[in-house]
Amino acid sequence: MSPPSQKQTALREIRRLRAEGFSQYEIARATNVSRGQIFNILSGRTGIGKKSIAAVIGTRERQREMRVVREQATIQKRIAEREIRRLQAVGFSQQEVARRTNVSRRQLRDILSGRRQIGKKTIAAVIETRKAQHGMLLLRDYGNVWVQPANAANRSLLGSYWHALGVARETGDWSLLKKYKNRSVTVIEKGQRGRLKFVTDPGILRELEDRHQLDPKEVTRYDLRRAKRGIR
């Protein structure tokens, strides 16, 4: 059986790119063949000329690169969709998911309902904000625990508590924490919302200070070191 001619190879390559889901514009850009010619070739209106054959054969490396870019984009799309659905499954409201992913509520609703595919800008926004998503430390009477605040208001409240705690620690005036007595922060844990009270008792706080549990930066560094060393 004789090997395919360059003409057959070029035609096969154009049709394969189309079958893989690339647009006519993308094929034209990758093969250095005009968009009009690509349309005519795919629709069977005209054959492929010598210049077009040479262009297609000579741009195989660019076509391979285009395939790699497409594969990476597909992976990122799956990651973004998975992240959106994960946040919803964890228990966050659509409003909070939209805020955390920098996606409008309308877009988010359409994506979750299947009315709309997730676009490039949305994918980039979700991927970027995904990197920044992290829990926060919450002080309990037995030490620090990592929690996921339910929304921006609770994240801000927890942050203000740590600030007040830092000032109280430096000045020795634990009365600064009175306004947090009987207050709690709403967190998401195992798909359920829960409320955890702030620690304001001076005796417990002094005991925790002796155990170096009152400096969130220090505890974070310690926990990261333990994680790197594989200590649980």
pLDDT tier for residue 198 given thresholds of 50, 70 and 90: very high
- Over residues 131-151, mean pLDDT: 78
**Element (H or E) spanning 70, and its range?**
helix 60-90
CB neighbour list of residue 116: distance below 8 Å, 6 or more residues apart: 107, 110
Q: CA angle, 28 as apex, 22 and 29 as ends, to 5°?
A: 90
What was the pLDDT predicted at 86?
Answer: 80
Average pLDDT over the chain, rounded to an integer? 80
What was the pLDDT predicted at 168?
Answer: 86
Q: Measured between alpha carbons, how far is 54 from 32 in angstroms, rounded to an integer?
A: 10
pLDDT tier for residue 180 given thresholds of 50, 70 and 90: very high
Q: Which residue in 13, 46, 9, 45 sits closest to 30, CA to CA?
A: 13
pLDDT tier for residue 231 given thresholds of 50, 70 and 90: very low
pLDDT > 50? residue 2 = no
pLDDT > 60? residue 154 = yes
Q: Which residues pair with 193 in a beta bridge?
A: 188
- Over residues 15-34, mean pLDDT: 86
pLDDT > 50? residue 183 = yes
What is the maximal distance between C-alpha atoms in the chain? 91
